[in-house]
Amino acid sequence: MHQYFGTDGIRGRVGVAPITADFLLKLGWAVGSVLSAKGQTSVIIGKDTRVSGYLFESALEAGFLSAGVNVGLLGPMPTPGIAYLTQAYAASVGVVISASHNHYEDNGVKFFSGKGLKLSDTQQRAIEKKLGEPMISVDTKHIGRAIRHDQALGRYIEFCKSTFNRSIDLSKLTMVIDCANGATYHIAQSVFAELGAEVIMINNQPDGYNINLNCGTTDTKHLQQEVLKHGADLGIAFDGDGDRMVMVDHQGELVNGDELIFIIAKAWHSTGDLKSDTVVGTQMSNLGMRHALTSLGIQFIEANVGDRFVMEQMKSNDAALGGEGSGHIICLDKTTSGDGIISALQVLEVICKAEKTLCDLKNEMIKYPQVLINVKTDEKVDLGNHTKLNEVLSVVEAELGDEGRVLIRASGTEPLIRVMVEASDLNLAEVSAQKLAAAL
């Protein structure tokens, strides 16, 4: 069990420990000290668009420099862009200052190894051990230097485009793109427009406070309205740090991560490009997707919730495709992490090759109604010994039988208990979820 690291780095409310300037300063020093002990002397730092990013960028930079590590500053950059650029710039570690899909009041830090992968448990433990030691700066002649990588944006844009089949022309597609006022605001239009699409941009004017506010992957109402208003072929929504992506079809209907993974998987399977004929999902993955993949002869493997756990299972099972219903999709033969822009490009490639609408492709999978209720908590809840909850759970599971399932888990990033119920009947799923949430 880690003291600071959760399922996706370190995250919390700005100004509340550990998301404070003094902690981020020491965190930079601790990571830098672990690196320098191994002879590794360079990191890159990127951030999303929330206002506290300025503060924490400076604190982390100072910490790394005091440990004798050189720093490359990227400015606003999607999380997957930092995963790629860590490799492109041959840095030892890539640092992302972001709280992903949370609002501006929160922030956090994620790390990538020199290979563009999330840090291992062993590496995280070494960092936490160092955090427990006094912070001692290197002597003056060994202090690190900082530079700003001015070409980083263009390099990432070209990398995204390189994952798309350039024999395909997107000029027949009109799309609305919602950047969640986040890290894709100055990138997404260039990628899709340069590949030929007619692009209508929304929520691409970040002010430090409007990231993920009534927009992006967690709130697609605005995008759905704009797709219908403009008669667009589809809409694409990213989250604040650009590692998640969901779509909206021409009828204004949401197409979530599970449906998008199915669309990619079916296409790759038909051409023999689905490595190991395997897809990795999570405990939250829709029953409809599982059944649809199985009917095609594609193996589905369930991981714990969180992209790090999905990645672990993908590696263990030699899979190239995995992800979550939230829109975190990993195409490992294209890049090393979940990337909203690159995932969207893979779906667009399928649409163009199949000459079908996103709506048609989505309907090839029957999604089970899924109800998710987040129950706020001020303290840790022992779910296994929650008598009232387990009494209600027994009744609910008996009512659902083989036509549904329940998943109750603590969030790894927020003070919430997530109650998820799936059933072939929406009303039954809603009633069941409400009973369980009430018990909690």
16: phi then psi, degrees, rounded to nearest 5? -110, 125
> Cα(290)–Cα(230) distance, rounded to whole angstroms?
34
At residue 409, the 3 state secondary structure works out as strand
At residue 118, the 3 state secondary structure works out as strand
Burial class of residue 55, CB neighbours in 10 A (0-12, 13-18, 19+): middle
DSSP H helices in 43-99: 52-66, 79-88
The answer to whether 247 and 362 are in contact (CB under 8 A) is: no
Catalytic residue among 100, 285, 326, 343: 100
**Which amino acid makes up residue 310?**
V
> Cα(368)–Cα(357) distance, rounded to whole angstroms?
21
**DSSP β-bridge partners for residue 111:** 95
> Cα(76)–Cα(184) distance, rounded to whole angstroms?
8
Write the CA distances from 188 to 238, 253, 321, integer angstroms.
Answer: 9, 22, 22
Q: How far apart are the two ends of the chain, measured CA to CA in Å?
A: 24
Which of 264, 269, 263, 208 is closest to 240 using CA atoms? 208
> Cα(136)–Cα(258) distance, rounded to whole angstroms?
48
Q: Catalytic site residue 33?
A: no
Which of 185, 187, 190 is closest to 202 using CA atoms? 185
Burial 409-425 (b: 16+ CB within 10 A, else e): eeebbbbebbbbbbbbe
CA-based angle 248:331:299, to the nearest 5?
95
* All residues at 6 or more sequence positions from 278 whose CB lies less than 8 Å from its CB, including other chains: 298, 299, 300, 301, 317, 318, 319, 321
Residues recognised as catalytic: 100
